[in-house]
Amino acid sequence: MRARTAVSLAALAALSLTAPALAAGVATAAPATPAAPATAAADVTAPAGFTGMVPTRVLDTRDYNQVPATRTARPLQAGEYFSTPLATGCHSHPPQECYSVVPADVTAVVVNVTATNPTADGFLSIGSVPGQPGTRPATSSINFKAGQTVSNLVTVAVGPVSRTSPWITVYNNWGTTDVVLDVVGYYRPGATDKYGPLNPVRIADSRTDGTGRLGGDAVRTYQVRRPELGTADATSVILNVTATDGTWDSYLTAYPSGSPRPASGSNVNFPVGRTVANQVVVPVGADGKIDIYNHAGWAHVIVDVVGSYGQSGQGLFSALRTPVRIRDTREAGGKLLPLSTTDLQAVPTDGSVPNAMGVEANLTVTDAGESGYLTVFRGQGQGTRPDTSTVNFEPGQTVANSATTAVTGRGTYSVYNHSGPVHLIADLTGYFVTG
């Protein structure tokens, strides 16, 4: 029986995102791409500090009012590179300009990307500039099945400023799909908040902590500024938020405590009965807390803290202008073994990225034979493996999630597979360096 959708007429009118019930089958992964050994530095942006934002919508291809460059509502076509300003609107009369939501000198942005209404299995890749027609990027940002709504957090270098706004580009590899972009933060030279790496820690699990499922149209508050976590002065936190055992198709939205819930913007889109995780970057309220809103039905919510930004942080971020693939087990090496830990070399070994303390990565799991999860952490020999999860998946699924992680002195991070054999695809989008 098709799952009942939790979309009210009011929500439809507002074009809020929900996750439609999935057809049988799962998303396919991008074709295997030879990995580039992390032996030399790629082209990167200047090291920059971070500024967090509440989710701010800059694109929704379903609504002409939210397609700032063209004011034309249409899905992206197969093989299309679609460039869009990081703005809420543009006008063409002199002076030609767009109403940018970020400063003109940003080097990279953090964007929650949602694909919805796709007509075929496929993937999106987010980049700074469009590629040549007939080509496709070497990396992917989000994978989806026909008819699915799915989100992933992406950190991407921005393209050149045009009409007073930086732009980014979305590539769709197959079929047609609508795309929604919500900006949640940006990197800018001179910004004073820096990355603080943490050993990931679980701060909430409604299945076991007595709080129970979060109801529909309800909000739960979480204390995230905590000295024992190393987040005493955090202005923003990096979380991995997981929804599971939902009774309706729904979505979660995270935002600072004490602030109004954003009029648009979703962080985790999930169908009934499934387990879906997404990385979330959210500013911290004045009281040191954040709120998480559930749109409909009842769902368990799990919150892991994986990093923070603040005055005491030490990491400045340099984004790769062209993300690189550092591991694809389909191309070489074979699947990750059950209950095993694998080290990935993320930082070049030639010393061309000195003082690296962390990385931004995009991890994709495919061809799993059973349900499970991956855990990303600093590395073996760097403390106990955390009791957290990064990517959750079910048999046959292709699932991607962003991972922000500290690295060892050798420039590696570790991935633990709590499942049967699975293929892993690891893309690198940038480095955190001490500064």
Assess whether pLDDT exceeds 90 at residue 15.
no
What is the Cα gyration radius of the chain?
A: 20
CA distances, 38 to each of 262, 317, 352, 353 (Å)? 39, 17, 10, 10
Better pLDDT: 1 or 177: 177
Look at residue 10 and give its three-state secondary structure.
helix
Report pLDDT digits (tens) over 340-351: 999 999 999 998
| Closest to 390 measured CA to CA, from 207, 208, 242 | 242
Task: State yes or no: pLDDT of 289 exceeds 70.
Answer: yes
Tokens representing residue 160 in the block: 């050149």
Q: Is 2 exposed, middle or buried (0-12, 13-18, 19+ CB in 10 A)?
A: exposed
Kindly report the CATH number that applies to the domain delimited by 315-434: 2.60.120
- Domain limits of the chain? 49-188, 194-310, 315-434
What is the mean predicted confidence (pLDDT) over 391-415? Answer: 94
CB of 297 closer than 8 Å to CB of 250:
yes
CB 143 within 8 A of CB 29: yes
- Contact between residue 202 and residue 302 where contact means Cβ atoms under 8 Å apart: yes
Asked whether 111 and 153 are in contact (CB, 8 A), the reply is yes
**Nearest of 222, 186, 230 to residue 205 by alpha carbon:** 222
pLDDT (tens digit, 9 = 90+) per residue, 106-144? 999 999 999 999 999 999 999 999 999 999 999 999 999
Same fold, 194-310 and 315-434: yes
Instruction: Kindly report the length of the chain.
Output: 435
Window from 2-16, 19-33, 201-215, 344-358 with minimum mean pLDDT: 2-16
Q: At residue 16, does pLDDT exceed 60?
A: no
Task: Look up the CATH number of domain 194-310.
Answer: 2.60.120
Specify whether the CB–CB gap between 427 and 139 falls below 8 A.
yes
CA 43 – CA 202 distance, rounded (Å): 35
Strand-strand pairing, 372-377 and 412-418: antiparallel
Does domain 49-188 fall under CATH 2.60.120? My reply is: yes
Would you state the structure tokens that stand for residue 259, as one six-digit string? 């602030």
d(CA 348, CA 359): 12
Residue showing tokens 């930004």 = 309
Q: Which residue has the higher pLDDT, 14 or 205?
A: 205
Integer Cα distance of 151 and 277 in angstroms: 9
- Continuous segment of H or E residues that includes residue 338: none
Q: Is the peptide bond before 262 cis (omega within 30 degrees of 0)?
A: no
**Torsion sign over Cα 206, 212, 214, 219:** negative
Cβ neighbours, 10 Å, residue 241: 22
